[in-house]
Amino acid sequence: MFKKLVIGILLFNVAFTQNVFTDFFKYSTAYASFSLNAPRHQDDRFAIVGGLSTGQLEVARTEMDLKPDFQKSFGLRKVGRFKYEPKRGVKNAGVGGSWYDGSEQNPNENATFGPVKGWEYLIKWSEGRQWGNEYLNQEYWVRYTGDWLMTKIGWTALGLEDISYLQGDMRLKWTPPILDDKINLSIGVKHRQHPVYGFDAMVLDTTWYRGTWYDFAETAFGIDDNAWFTEDYHLNGDQDIQLYEIDPVTGELRPIEGGGPFWNDDGRFVGVDWLWRDENGKIFAYTDREYFLYHFPGMLENYIDGVKKNLGYQKETSLVIGVDYYHYDDNWWLHGWANWLPYHYGHDKYSYHNGSAYQEHLEENKAPEHFMFMEPMWMSWNDYDFGAIFGVKIKDNLGVFAEGRYLNYWERPAYDFKFGINYQFVGF
């Protein structure tokens, strides 16, 4: 949906531009790429498939299906280049520059302001596999920067970090002349829409713990339990048989304590239990205890994920304050930015103004079911993001660098940092 919106904005601007290619799309770059890497090696897996009754284990060997890492990408971009960035694209490839391939992690794309005024945009899509984990990353945004105003609309989805949000940003911009135009201060509003964050299963759905867990499992998961029993139980009801084991030291019989498969919590076998079948009628657990311990938690997690997804995106409007700094010369450069969102208006029941209040509710050791949802309102919590790119040429053949970004929205951090040193041998 949002991809269509971004593309629509682009086409709208194109429609009202007399010279499409020289005005709006001039200096933009379209790219597509595919990369393939050898998979991480994994030894074959071994599984025990028999021998329970005989004591002689039967082992099966499974050869691992090693799938290679890959990434496929495409994009369209028109983003101003800072002087510390390498030149990319067809025109500069082979002369000190490089191609766009979609794997670029440019921290400055998260900066509030670019190095130029006017329209900038980014359409960036990549899908791949990394160490066996498949992901889908998407980033779409359109930005306009004027003398005193900046506006931006965009959507970000980070597959590996499990963060996605839509945002619209509008700010007043001020550049203090005393600092030689190196710093930009900004204030405005940021509107964000995001999946439900901050709530757990105890609040999102109460049906799974308000009644019996086994009735809930049948209804929610589409599975079925059915009693199995001994002949004596069928004829006479509960057998109430005490179970014993042999003491390895004394050789005497001793009662079995505690719960376990095929008996209740006081070590007594009653002659009945329940087996569980999937939606196709195949047995996957032979006792309530087996199902409850090894299958129910994962099924419940998937169920709650579905409940959360069905709630849709939640909306918040926030005050945002930002600062950007940029300096460049031949010996050193620094580009840094930071944004602080201290006040927020939650529009929906599951907006983070309630999510933040729920987290405080839990920290006070209050029962989840006693949490009271608030109406749409203003609330204070700290969302922020910052980043910086720094480089120093100590000598012609020696330099150090550092760069990175950090985003903390709704207490879900996403970050990447790198630093290092470069030395070029020029002779002895």
Tens of pLDDT, residues 283-308: 999 988 889 989 999 999 999 999 99
How far is Cα 97 from Cα 158, in angstroms, rounded to an integer? 27
The residue that leads in pLDDT, 326 or 19, is 326
The residue that leads in pLDDT, 121 or 271, is 121
What radius of gyration, in Å, describes the C-alpha atoms of the chain? Answer: 30
Q: In 225-376, which residue ranges form alpha helices assigned H by DSSP?
A: 231-236, 288-294, 296-310, 352-363
What do you get for the CA distance between the two ends of the chain, in Å?
61
Residue 76 confidence (pLDDT): 86
CA 396: distance to chain centroid?
42
Q: How many CB atoms lie within 10 A of CB 423?
A: 11
Q: Is 352 helix (H, G, I), strand (E, B) or coil?
A: helix
Residue 244 confidence (pLDDT): 85
User: How far is the CA of 385 from the CAs of 214, 219, 278, in angstroms?
Assistant: 45, 43, 46
Average pLDDT over residues 251-257: 86
Burial (CB < 10 A; 0-12, 13-18, 19+), residue 280, is: exposed
Residue 391 confidence (pLDDT): 93
Average pLDDT over residues 154-179: 86
Q: Which of 12-16, 260-264, 294-298, 392-396 has the lowest mean pLDDT?
A: 12-16
Residue 22 confidence (pLDDT): 61
The answer, yes or no, to whether residue 233 has pLDDT greater than 60, is yes
Contacts of 321 (CB under 8 A, 6+ apart): 186, 187, 339, 340, 341, 342
Could you give phi then psi for residue 248, rounded to 5 degrees?
A: -65, -15
Residue 158 identity (one-letter amino acid): L
Residue 425 confidence (pLDDT): 85
Give buried/exposed letters for 175-192 (b at 16+ CB in 10 A, else e).
Answer: beeeeeeebbebebebbb
Per residue in 208-218, pLDDT (tens digit) is 888 899 999 99
Residue 5 confidence (pLDDT): 53
The answer, yes or no, to whether residue 262 has pLDDT greater than 80, is no
What does the block give as tokens for 230? 């001994």
Residue 427 confidence (pLDDT): 63
* Domain chopping of the chain, boundaries: 2-196+312-423, 202-310
At 235, the pLDDT band (50, 70, 90 cuts) reads confident
Could you give phi then psi for residue 232, rounded to 5 degrees?
A: -65, -40
Q: Give the DSSP letter string of 368-411.
A: GGG--PPPSEEEEEEEEEEEEEEEEEEETTEEEEEEEEEEEETT
346, 379 contact by CB (below 8 A): yes
Which segments of 18-148 are extended strands (E)?
Answer: 29-37, 45-50, 58-62, 69-78, 118-130, 133-145
Q: Which of 4-18, 141-155, 396-410 has the lowest mean pLDDT?
A: 4-18
CA 185: distance to chain centroid?
30
What does the block give as tokens for 383? 């969302």
pTM of the model as a whole: 0.76
Say what percent of the chain tops pLDDT 90.
42
Residue 297 confidence (pLDDT): 94
The answer, yes or no, to whether residue 173 has pLDDT greater than 60, is yes
* Ramachandran sector of residue 147 (left: φ over 0; alpha: ψ -120 to 50; beta: rest): alpha
Residue 277 confidence (pLDDT): 95
Dihedral sign for Cα 203, 207, 213, 217, please: negative
The residue that leads in pLDDT, 315 or 207, is 315
At 6, the pLDDT band (50, 70, 90 cuts) reads low
Per residue in 323-365, pLDDT (tens digit) is 999 999 989 999 999 999 999 999 999 999 999 999 999 999 9
Could you give phi then psi for residue 305, rounded to 5 degrees?
A: -60, -40
How far is Cα 275 from Cα 284, in angstroms, rounded to an integer? 8
Residue 44 confidence (pLDDT): 80
The answer, yes or no, to whether residue 238 has pLDDT greater than 80, is no
How far is Cα 288 from Cα 48, in angstroms, rounded to an integer? 23
The answer, yes or no, to whether residue 52 has pLDDT greater than 90, is no
Residue 263 confidence (pLDDT): 55
The residue that leads in pLDDT, 230 or 97, is 230
Q: Which of 4-8, 115-119, 144-148 has the lowest mean pLDDT?
A: 4-8
